[in-house]
Structure 1
Amino acid sequence: MQQLVLLTGLSGAGKTVVLRSLEDMEYYCVDNLPVDMLPQFVKHILGEPGFYPKVAVGVDIRSTENSITRLPPLIDSIREEQLNFKVIFLNADQQVLFNRFSETRRRHPLSTHEQKYSLTEAIKLEIQLMQPIKNKSDLLIDTSKLSVHHLRQQVWKLMSQKNDKVSIILRSFAFKRGVPFDSDFVFDARCLPNPYWQKELRHFTGRDSEIEAFFEKESMVAEYYRDLCGFCKTWIPRFEANDRSYITIAIGCTGGQHRSVYLIEQLHMYLSKHGIQSLVAHRELDDS
């Protein structure tokens, strides 16, 4: 049966992060769909089940106050369709939301020139307007105390369907900030050449082509990567055989910017080629 996720919640609670996580899980994602277009969109994806096996739609207060009040009855009508339908609502404390908007200097969707609400007033009004939708949610996620990578990991765990393949969480990190406490396997990349010591490469990360080019010239890095792939090839099937739904593989280096990031990205591509779902989380990059 087709899967449809309606992602909604309070502005600043992390909807963009969750949508990107669902996209990594092979959901077809649409953000900021006007509420009034939702019935037509559902009809469209039902007509193309092979093309839209998993879909996530982001709807929020940007759809205007009037249209958002029409969402609860639409949710009820969608539940009558032949869909595996879930409503995810992202919530956060008022003070946390206030701090997030203040730190990023973003304008709240209700703080427009026409409405002229203060940030505090806009947050309180949105909480009030979104309450009926929150009451209809299947899954409520409070992001008040979650970092970006922890939010992504939580979504991954909650939404992964039990099947015959294990899902992998791949995380890069800096040893100077400590080893992630929930890792199943930890690999140390500090023995590898460090591009940080080349000034012209220092400001790049392991996701940049300049760093990729640097590592592709190093035979030691290629050998390390081959061993990582060999480890996954040998041991991931053992976890699948034991009904494990997911495992976390963490790779660390000194600063969590170059070596660990590069290896995680390369390992992600390797797993994808072999049909193994993996979620990438770069702790130091995501938290910066």
Structure 2
Amino acid sequence: MQIVIISGMSGAGKSYALQTLEDTGYYCIDNLPSQLIEALIQTPQITHLERLAIGIDIRGGKSSLQEIPMTIARIRQQYPKTHLIYLYAQRAIIQKRYNETRRSHPLIHEEKELAKAIELEENLLGFLAEQADWRVDTSQTNVYELGLLLRTRLGEAHLRNFSLMFQSFGYKHEAPSDSDFVFDVRCLPNPYWIPELRPLTGRDPAIITWLQQHPRVHELYTGIQDFLELWMADPESCQRTYLTVSIGCTGGRHRSVYIAEALYQHFRQKLGECVLLRHRELNYLS
């Protein structure tokens, strides 16, 4: 049985994540106290399932949170394909979402101010975020992008027990905080300042040709590739199911896209379909 445990901050998209998994064939249970997880997976109605997704969060009670890591460790002894996914977003984004929906935060009875309730929850769940196999920052991700990201990465990870994603982004839209490695390529020549190239992206032949004419671009790409080759000589040795390498430039449309594409093509040939590509500012995932 494949088990996905979804946790994280209220307002970060956990409910939609479970809906997405349900649509892809998972049997989903939300708001389950951690003390009941092991009993649940032993029931005859559950043991025959191929896919199970469980939502756990602050609503199950603060006292139950500390038990989650040990509970997951015991479950993995019987079901090795058990993944903990943690969803979160910037506090200001969470507060905006609550203000728009006018729903009550689960901890509002302890902290009368919404901002303080969000901060308290983030602090209480901090240790769980560190334990997660995959941390997903939904600050710049809408529900449709989140759904596609979950379906794609979970599918590859379950099939091959490893998922490597190269992601381009723009620093002016804030750097993603859910990355394992972040490389800043703003030091490279910028095609943005060439009027005829500005409307294009790093996936267009004209941008590719222009960047390839600059030795510094090749040198930086080679340096990043060599570093990753050394660190990931054996994907199993990194002991991570989900690995995200983010490449950032100013706007996230030219230089970072080109470098991410080149790295994706190289490692895709080497590691196969477990390698994925995302251009955050272009709303592209492959």
Correspondence for 1:126: 121
Seq. identity, %: 32
Do the aligned residues in 2 keep the contact of 1:28 with 1:56 (CA within 8 Å)? yes
Alignment check: 8 A CA contact 1:72 1:132 kept: no
Tell me whether 1:60 sits opposite 2:57 in the alignment.
Answer: yes
Change (3 A) 1:76 1:117: farther
What is the match of residue 76 of structure 2? 79
Mapped partners of 1:156, 1:67: distance in 2: 29
1:214-225 counterparts in 2 under 5 A?
none
The counterpart of 1:98, out of the listed 63, 82, 95, is 95
Which residue is 2:130 aligned to?
135
Instruction: Give structure 1 stretches of 5+ with no counterpart.
Output: 164-180, 182-242, 246-288
Shift in Å at residue 75 of structure 1?
2.0
Are 1:159 and 2:154 counterparts?
A: yes
Q: Residues of 2 paired with 1:48 and 1:117: CA distance?
A: 39
In structure 1, give the amino acid aligned to 2:78: E
For 1:29-40, what aligned pairs fall within 5 Å after superposition?
29-40=28-39
Q: Report how far residue 25 of structure 1 moved.
A: 1.0
Q: 2-side partners of 1:10 and 1:125: how far apart? A: 10
* Secondary structure at the counterpart of residue 150 of structure 1: helix
CA positional deviation for 1:74: 1.5
CA distance in structure 2 between the partners assigned to 1:82 and 1:153 by the alignment: 25
One-letter amino acid of the counterpart of residue 85, structure 1: T
Whole-angstrom distance in 2 between the partners of 1:82 and 1:13: 27
Q: How big is the shift at 1:73? A: 2.1
CA distance in 2, matches of 1:8, 1:58: 6
Q: Is the 8 A contact 1:26 1:54 kept in 2?
A: yes
Cα distance in 1 between the residues matched to 2:113 and 2:67: 25
- Please give the alpha-carbon distance, in whole angstroms, between the structure 1 residues aligned to 2:53 and 2:46: 15
Aligned-partner Cα distance in 2 for 1:129–1:62 = 12
Choose the corresponding residue for 2:139, options 138, 144, 147: 144
SS state of the match for residue 57, structure 1?
strand
Q: Counterpart of 1:257?
A: none
- 8 Å contact from structure 1 (residues 92, 144) kept in 2: yes
Whole-angstrom CA distance in 1 between matches of 2:101 and 2:46: 39
TM (norm. structure 2) is 0.53
**1:109 corresponds to which residue?**
106
TM-score of the superposition, structure 1-length normalised? 0.53
Cα RMSD of the aligned pairs, angstroms, is: 2.6
Residue equivalent to 1:22: 21
Work out the CA distance in 1 between the residues paired with 2:80 and 2:54: 14
Runs of 4+ in structure 1 over 4 Å off: none
Contact conserved, 2:16 with 2:143, CA < 8 A, in 1?
yes
Shift of 1:244: 7.3
Q: Secondary structure at the match of 2:31?
A: coil
Letter in 1 for 2:33: P
